[in-house]
Amino acid sequence: MPVANVQVISVPVSDQDRARDFYVDTVGLTLLADQQFTPEMRWVMVAPPSGAALTLVTWFPTMPPGSLKGLVLESDDLEGDLAMLGAKGVAVSEVQSAPWGRFVTFDDPDGNGIVLQVSAPNAPQTDVSGWRASA
């Protein structure tokens, strides 16, 4: 069964309003949905212009708020985004360099760990179509 793509990533949060505001107003994602499905379940979904959407969830007992680490977001302007996040009061790490690009890390209000990176030109991970697992 080949999988076509990753559609939604669940981000565990304690307060969906606060998380929605952070991901939309601070990080700059677009609000795609904010609907009450049941008294216990509200669907809040945000997304960048391309790629998988994030749903801000409170109902998974095995995913406590702040337990997601390593959510990677791609930037076209790391310095500009870093300045914007700093101006909005987000504590951001120093810029780090790696073979795949440059990146910073920061947390959302619940402590979920986010990596904001700009990929190096021709970095291996920017085109994963040729990747194959070794047997």
Query: Which residue, 46, 42, 40, is CA-closest to 16?
Result: 42
Q: What is the pLDDT of residues 26-78, one digit of tens each?
A: 999 999 999 999 998 999 999 999 989 999 999 999 999 999 999 999 999 99
Strand order in the sheet with 41-47: 8-12, 53-57, 41-47, 30-38
What CA–CA distance (Å, rounded) separates 18 from 54? Answer: 15
Contacts of 30 (CB under 8 A, 6+ apart): 24, 46, 47, 48, 49
Q: What is the CATH number of domain 8-123?
A: 3.10.180.10
For residues 135 and 121, give the distance between their C-alpha atoms in angstroms, rounded to a whole number.
29
Q: Rounded to the nearest 10 degrees, how much is the dihedral formed by the CA atoms of 3, 54, 88, 78?
A: 10
Torsion angle of alpha carbons 117, 101, 6, 105, nearest 10°? -30
Question: What confidence category does residue 15 fall into, taking pLDDT thresholds of 50, 70 and 90?
Answer: very high
Candidates 25, 32, 33; CA nearest to 50 is 32
Summarize pLDDT for 64-114 with one digit per residue, the tens: 999 999 999 999 999 999 999 999 999 999 999 998 899 999 999 999 999
Full-model pTM:
0.88
